[in-house]
Homo-oligomer: A and B are copies of this chain.
């Protein structure tokens, strides 16, 4: 591989001049610049990223930690981040967690990995992180933002929807459609955002005089398959409900399958409501009524904040983008 010295020799200039041409920094005569550019072409010179990072201590790269590779939830967010980053000429390196149970350790490892790779800033997703974990990340790389997790000590660096309000909105929508008997499929206990939306949902029902303790509930792990088995378990116990609220869309999609296997139809025999608003919900049978969380926008704002932090930009950052119920066909209007 050709080095900058080879280029300099070939162009008959010093290495400083070559560096200036490449970076477009200092003054260079047109004459020298063109000779350098030619030499770069001829030698197929590519600057060594490692040497650059070593010297500058900057890499123009943002590191992203995502708890899971697979699944329909994270990839659109990743896509939004990636697209924005490209627009500003920066790069992205992603690290993934393995399972939901190992999320905490995975996130810590990921933060280490990404920081070691010279990332100028970090975006960390994951709702199972404990305050100590977040401190740890902050120590590793103070320039970070949290997506879908709120940490009291780092309020400005946290970007998350109001899950409590969104859960409440779901309950209200179902209530107004005439439903009075409910069941829920919740996510893992470790997931703080799941807890919040469940509290919002159940709390609103309580306001209408329904005892949260009396609402049948099953727990899933956010995967479609877990939604299916949870729905079946619920149906096997007792079919005392007309509406089933799921903590995320993927479980709701699984629930659709589970309900069908039980010989029931949606929304004829039972209404199903999802949460998140992933694209696929538009194409299920029947199309899924869900709570649309503006994930792409939230992610973009988080990234903007991080870019401002890392590179002194001043991109717009909006907080509190509201969620809204997306009516489709999986919920019956009883009244």
Contacts and interface: CB of A to CB of B under 8 A. Distances in A.
Interface stretch (A88-96, A151-159, A315-323): A88-96
Interface stretch (A76-84, A163-171, A204-212): A76-84
A75 B79 contact: no
Contact of A69 (B78, B112, B282): B78
A72 interface: yes
Contact of A82 (B47, B69, B72): B69
A283 B71 CA distance: 14
Interface stretch (A13-21, A33-41, A213-221, A253-261): A253-261
Contacts of A70: 75-76, 78-79, 279
B54 A83 contact: no
Please tell me the size bucket of the interface on A: 35 or more
A224 interface: yes
Nearest to A72: B72
A335 to B, nearest CB: 26
B91 A94 contact: no
A113 interface: yes
A72 B283 CA distance: 14
Contacts of A237: none
Contacts of A48: 54, 116
A191 B279 CA distance: 24
7 contacts: A46-B116, A70-B78, A93-B117, A224-B283, A256-B285, A257-B282, A285-B285
Given A47-B116, A54-B54, A70-B78, 7 more contacts: A48-B116, A69-B82, A70-B75, A86-B98, A256-B285, A280-B280, A285-B285
